[in-house]
């Protein structure tokens, strides 16, 4: 499904952040990526999505065999990639619901489908908002405008639910969430997940993985995946930190 091979990327001043990432993600899998701050976790999601601040120096990223790196940013999304960044951007003046409708209809146009009728979109939106226990305040406001950290994360999962991507790359979705919000957001992600889809979770803590069971856990450090394992790896990291990996 998502295949990342020897991915190397740098920032404008030439500093290489990703130094050869390899990752294979199959349908139905949940991959958790953990690692110390500054190891390249957030950069990985942005590079895959096409953020202009990064230059890909080597490697490939394909989604269902399509070369993502040669696509425009919007086409990567419309092909089935969704990324949620650690700090979702605020866009005052762009209505949250109108933005969602525009995004969904852009995807439908890309796939050769007619735009969703207003009434059908409203129904879809209400259904997904109810799943995430979101109230009407989200409708009238600008995209993430004035939202708390937790509200932003919930709004990200709403977008994921409506856009229905094949692969979702969620960067620290659990940060800024209180205990109840974490449960609701994790429940939402589990609801969206299906055997045809995959999720990559970036997290620092086991608490999110208590709700969303990972198939694989990877440790990213110094721009490379240095260790992979099953769910038990996350528990060990929670207990012992990262230093033991380098010691071994």
How many Å apart are CA 248 and CA 244, to the nearest integer? 6
* Cβ proximity to other proteins, 77 vs 185, nearer residue: 77
Which tokens in the block code for residue 165? 């991507």
Name residue 16's beta-bridge partners.
Answer: 10
* Cβ proximity to other proteins, 72 vs 118, nearer residue: 72
Q: What is the CA radius of gyration of the chain?
A: 18
How many Å apart are CA 140 and CA 134, to the nearest integer? 12
Which tokens in the block code for residue 103? 């995004």
Tell me how crowded residue 20 is: count the other CB atoms within 10 A of its CB. 15
- Walk across the sheet containing 16-25 and list its strands: 16-25, 2-11, 54-63, 66-67
How many Å apart are CA 55 and CA 37, to the nearest integer? 21
* Cβ proximity to other proteins, 40 vs 88, nearer residue: 88
Taking Cα atoms as reference points, which of 233, 184, 239, 237 lies closest to residue 212? 184
Distance of closest approach, residue 242 Cβ to other proteins, in angstroms: 29
Distance of closest approach, residue 238 Cβ to other proteins, in angstroms: 31
Distance of closest approach, residue 164 Cβ to other proteins, in angstroms: 11
Q: Residues with Cβ < 8 Å from 193, sequence gap 6 or more?
A: 30, 199, 212
* List of residues contacting other proteins (CB under 8 A): 49-53, 72-74, 76-78, 83, 85, 88-89, 91-94, 99, 102-103, 106-107, 110, 142-143, 159, 163
Distance of closest approach, residue 3 Cβ to other proteins, in angstroms: 20
* Cβ proximity to other proteins, 39 vs 78, nearer residue: 78
Distance of closest approach, residue 90 Cβ to other proteins, in angstroms: 8
* Cβ proximity to other proteins, 53 vs 130, nearer residue: 53
Distance of closest approach, residue 247 Cβ to other proteins, in angstroms: 38
* Cβ proximity to other proteins, 159 vs 214, nearer residue: 159
């Amino acid at each position: 499904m998502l295949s990342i091979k020897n991915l190397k990327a740098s920032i404008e001043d030439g500093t290489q952040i990703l130094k050869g990432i390899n990752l294979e993600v199959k349908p139905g899998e949940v991959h958790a990526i953990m690692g110390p701050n500054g190891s390249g976790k957030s950069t990985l999601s942005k590079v895959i999505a096409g953020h202009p601040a990064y230059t890909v120096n080597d490697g490939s990223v394909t989604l269902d065999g399509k070369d993502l790196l040669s696509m425009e940013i919007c086409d990567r999304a419309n092909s089935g990639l969704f990324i949620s960044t650690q700090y979702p951007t605020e866009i005052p003046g762009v209505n949250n619901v109108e933005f969602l409708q525009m995004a969904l209809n852009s995807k439908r146009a890309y796939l050769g489908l007619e735009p969703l009728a207003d009434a059908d979109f409203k129904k879809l939106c209400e259904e997904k908002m109810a799943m995430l226990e979101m109230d009407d305040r989200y409708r009238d406001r600008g995209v993430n405008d004035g939202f708390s950290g937790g509200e932003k994360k919930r709004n990200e999962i709403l977008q994921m639910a409506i856009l229905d991507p094949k692969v979702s790359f969620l960067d620290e979705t659990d940060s800024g969430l209180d205990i109840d919000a974490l449960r609701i957001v994790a429940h939402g992600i589990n609801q969206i997940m299906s055997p045809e889809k995959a999720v990559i979770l970036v997290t620092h803590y086991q608490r999110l993985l208590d709700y969303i069971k990972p198939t694989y856990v990877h440790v990213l450090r110094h721009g490379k995946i240095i260790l992979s394992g099953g769910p038990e790896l996350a528990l060990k990291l929670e207990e012992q930190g990262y230093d033991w990996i380098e010691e071994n």
